[in-house]
């Protein structure tokens, strides 16, 4: 799904490349200025920050652990003890939501006992950026038959319906956080590669790239030191949107029974499990994580939109 939705906001189409946008160091203040001049971006930032903070502070703002079972009160609506209610095993939904944000945004549970920083969705997007950017750079910089082969393969990948790709990938390699990352990465790669390729095609005609070439720099150096840093603005905006769709994808995978193993409180699995109880009149367990996914993805979209709008205006 994400590959499609991204075309709409393909930053390469609308935004001329500006080397300072969202740059770090000297550009940081500048970027902040752009950010705060857009109401849309601020609204988006607020939503995103809310979830980032919730994720970071989860242990301090919740009364229960995400797996604590109050077996006398399963499937409850909101109450004083449980502000958002409880799920089918009597677990506090607010705690699960907050810790779920952690899995999406802050930590990746490689195994039950081994966690690495960076959320599942973030790692998924990061991996697709890594592979996609590599392929895009090579393809765009070298052109010719390398370009042709890479792009045709990616075209083929893009024309497999995403849902089918998920199914085949995860049905083949099983359900775990790392495999979810893998699935998100594979599905995201062609989109990133296309974007980076188009940016590369543009940037490689610039003077400073010509200069580096006449200096005799190696192609690797030119690709990763001259071209990539100058393309990072649109890539970062694109990545924000991708994070949103990665979260959405985790939900779909959970629905297909291929998400993170229980009792993981990630939002996708929460919706997928909670939906069993909607028909018996306990919609809460599915409602809250659905809204959480929606608000975070909307936040990321608004942030990206706002930034882009401001950038175009700025030029």
Of residues 22 through 41, those in contact with other proteins by CB under 8 A are 39-40
Question: Closest distance between other proteins and the C-beta of residue 277, in Å?
Answer: 7
| Alpha carbons within 13 A on the beta-carbon side of 118 | 11
Of 35, 167, 201, 236, the one binding other proteins (CB under 8 A) is 167
Of 129, 286, 303, 304, the one binding other proteins (CB under 8 A) is 286
Of 101, 268, 310, 311, the one binding other proteins (CB under 8 A) is 268
By the rule CB under 8 A, 164 interacts with other proteins: yes
CB atoms closer than 10 angstroms to residue 167: 16
Q: Would you say 233 or 289 has its CB closer to other proteins?
A: 289
Q: Would you say 181 or 222 has its CB closer to other proteins?
A: 181
By the rule CB under 8 A, 5 interacts with other proteins: yes
Per-residue binding string, other proteins, 116-155, x by CB under 8 A, is ------------------------------------xx-x
By the rule CB under 8 A, 68 interacts with other proteins: yes
By the rule CB under 8 A, 298 interacts with other proteins: yes
Do residues 22 and 236 make contact, with C-beta atoms less than 8 angstroms apart? yes
Q: Would you say 125 or 258 has its CB closer to other proteins?
A: 258
Question: Where does this chain touch other proteins (CB under 8 A) — which range of 3-11, 92-100, 125-133, 215-223?
Answer: 3-11
Question: Closest distance between other proteins and the C-beta of residue 308, in Å?
Answer: 10
Question: Closest distance between other proteins and the C-beta of residue 220, in Å?
Answer: 28
CB atoms closer than 10 angstroms to residue 1: 14
Per-residue binding string, other proteins, 175-214, x by CB under 8 A, is x---------------------------------------
């Amino acid at each position: 799904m994400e590959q499609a939705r991204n075309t709409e906001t393909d930053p390469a189409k609308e935004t001329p490349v500006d080397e300072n946008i969202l740059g770090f160091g000297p550009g940081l203040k500048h970027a902040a200025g752009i950010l705060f001049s857009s109401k849309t971006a601020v609204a988006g930032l607020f939503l995103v920050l809310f979830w980032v903070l919730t994720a970071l502070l989860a242990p301090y703002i919740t009364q229960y652990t995400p797996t604590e079972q109050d077996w006398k009160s399963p499937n409850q609506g909101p109450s004083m003890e449980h502000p958002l209610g409880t799920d089918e095993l009597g677990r506090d939904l607010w705690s699960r939501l907050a810790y779920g944000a952690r899995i999406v945004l802050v930590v990746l549970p490689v195994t039950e006992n081994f966690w690495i920083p960076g959320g599942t969705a973030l790692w998924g997007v990061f991996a697709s950026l890594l592979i996609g950017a590599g392929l895009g750079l090579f393809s765009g910089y070298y052109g010719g038959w390398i370009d042709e082969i890479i792009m045709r393969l990616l075209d083929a990948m893009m024309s497999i319906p995403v849902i089918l790709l998920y199914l085949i990938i995860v049905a083949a390699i099983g359900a775990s956080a790392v495999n979810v990352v893998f699935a998100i990465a594979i599905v995201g790669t062609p989109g990133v590669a296309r974007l980076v390729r188009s940016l590369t095609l543009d940037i490689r005609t610039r003077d400073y790239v010509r200069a580096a070439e006449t200096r005799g720099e190696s192609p690797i150096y030119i690709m990763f030191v001259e071209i990539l840093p100058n393309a990072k603005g649109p890539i970062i905006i694109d990545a924000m949107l991708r994070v949103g769709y990665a979260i959405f994808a985790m939900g779909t995978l959970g629905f297909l029974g291929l998400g993170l193993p229980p009792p993981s409180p990630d939002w996708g699995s929460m919706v997928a499990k909670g939906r069993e109880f909607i028909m018996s009149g306990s919609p809460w367990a599915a409602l809250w994580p659905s809204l959480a996914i929606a608000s975070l993805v909307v936040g990321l979209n608004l942030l990206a939109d706002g930034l882009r709008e401001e950038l175009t205006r700025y030029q």
